[in-house]
Chain A
């Protein structure tokens, strides 16, 4: 059980943003990806659940080739939850309905089952009091926590986080990170693209430093963040810490 990324290249037109990335994320692991903007880290995340096609290489999720012909992406995505930088709440549905939608329509659960799942997941992210309101009544941090609950409602095996705190006001970052800490403490497999270096250091088993579409350094946080070897990593950490 793992996500295996093998020599993946990805270009938008003539601009290559991922230039041969290879890494494996084992079940139960938390891997953070850090690096400057435009380094290709978010793009790689989109490739992992097939939201973006790739140009070459392979991504295997539990042995299934994500970009292979005949792969049922809709089915594969059930086990890969993703949370975006822009939280993407469905504005026309209440918080509860947002979380219930996919279990009902994708997994075919009954209304009562879906509601039970949603209530439970919303409680876990601390939104029990907000289930009946529409997302427009929530703060950014609350919307982001709802987005996490919405992804969790599909009982995914893997969770991808794409700079989930970057669009939040500073005072709202903590509550979202707390939710992610909770998940990692429960053993959720997570790939976290983030600018929160302290957080990456605290929760990750491994940290990967991306630079210009390549992994320059990967290893335990104490090594990559605490004692970086590559000059690019050192420069980057200097600029963000």
Chain B
């Protein structure tokens, strides 16, 4: 092996990469917020009495879970592009990951809802609560605990999926910035090793803070 490591240039790139990490986090957080929103709609839609809604929800979930995330992002950028709908890289990546998140989370929510016994709803209704009130005060908090860890996993996954933005030309997230430096100097190993450490720390940060939150939130 006659490769000489040059770490110094990689460390010089560190501030830029950290700014990139912020963009990465931004996309991941947005994709989760939107993902949760759509997942709730999908979970409700999947048990709708209207066939159209059911079919739409089921197709979304099936496609999101059974095709590569990379294809989903590709379709949002180039696929829609060839239909004349041009999204910029950031939006296309966000749309792709949101699509993926929503598909997975819809199943998580559906399972979570089923895991809370119907007798809880009955007990709440028997105390004079309306359907929505009973859901909000009794069913949702219990469901939230059940979906909390799957939600955390999806967040980690969303962070890692943002690296796919590089294929649709995103150049200001962590992978994008790293790649820009890489093509200029070809210190591939050093730059990407450093980026990997940052991804690792981001992911760890999410799981550790989730664990702390769970400890605070779920006292029962």
A51 touches B122 (CB 8 A): yes
* Contact status B219-A134, CB under 8 Å: yes
**Which one of B22-30, B66-74, B101-109, B125-133 is at the A interface?**
B125-133
How many residue-residue contacts, CB under 8 A, span A and B?
61
Alpha-carbon distance A90/B139, docked complex (angstroms): 9
**A86 and B130: CB pair below 8 A?**
no
A61 to chain B, nearest CB (A): 13
Alpha-carbon gap, A88 to B120, bound state (A) = 6
Contact (A84, B123) CB under 8 Å given A101-B137, A134-B220:
yes
Minimal Cβ-Cβ distance residue in B for A77? B128
CB distance from B1 to the nearest CB of A (A): 57
Q: 1/0 per position for B114-142, CB-CB distance to A under 8 A?
A: 00000110111111111001000110011
Chain B residues with CB under 8 Å of A91's CB are 142, 220
Is residue B51 within 8 Å, beta carbon to beta carbon, of the partner chain? no
Q: B145 in the interface, Cβ–Cβ < 8 Å?
A: yes
A78 at interface, CB cutoff 8 A: yes
Q: How many residues of A contact B (CB 8 A)?
A: 27
Number of interface residues of B (CB under 8 A): 20
Residues of B within 8 Å of A90, CB to CB, are 120, 123-124, 138, 142
Task: Select which of B129, B142, B145 is within 8 A of A102 by beta carbon.
Answer: B129
Tell me, rounded to whole Å, the shortest Cβ–Cβ distance linking B216 to chain A: 14
A92 within 8 A of B: yes
**Which A residue's beta carbon lies closest to that of B141?**
A92
B142 with A105: CB separation less than 8 A: no
Q: Mark B207-220, 1 if CB is under 8 A from A, else 0.
A: 00000000000111
Out of A88, A101, A102, A105, name the residue touching B119 (CB < 8 Å): A88
Q: A222 within 8 Å of B by Cβ?
A: no
Closest chain B residue to A88, Cβ basis: B123
Interfacial chain A residues near B126, Cβ < 8 Å: 49, 51, 77, 81-82, 84, 151
Which residues of the partner chain B approach A88 to less than 8 Å between Cβ atoms? 119-120, 122-123
Give A95-116 as 1s and 0s: 1 = Cβ < 8 Å from B's Cβ atoms.
0000001100111000000000
Pick from B120, B127, B218: contact of A151, CB under 8 Å: B127
Assuming the contacts A75-B128, A92-B220, asked whether A105 and B133 have C-beta atoms less than 8 A apart, the reply is: yes
Q: How far is the CB of A86 from chain B (nearest CB, A)?
A: 6
Nearest CB in chain B: distance from A47 CB, A: 13
Offer 19 A-B interface pairs, CB within 8 angstroms, sorted by A. Answer: A74-B128, A74-B129, A77-B127, A78-B128, A81-B126, A86-B119, A88-B120, A90-B142, A92-B141, A92-B218, A101-B127, A102-B127, A105-B137, A106-B133, A135-B220, A147-B123, A150-B127, A154-B127, A154-B128
Q: Which residues of A contact B (CB under 8 A)?
A: 49, 51, 74-75, 77-78, 81-82, 84, 86, 88, 90-93, 101-102, 105-107, 134-136, 147, 150-151, 154
Report B's interface with A, CB cutoff 8 A. 119-120, 122-130, 133, 137-138, 141-142, 145, 218-220
The 10 closest A-B pairs by CB, nearest first: A88-B123, A102-B127, A134-B220, A106-B128, A78-B128, A77-B128, A92-B141, A82-B126, A74-B128, A88-B119
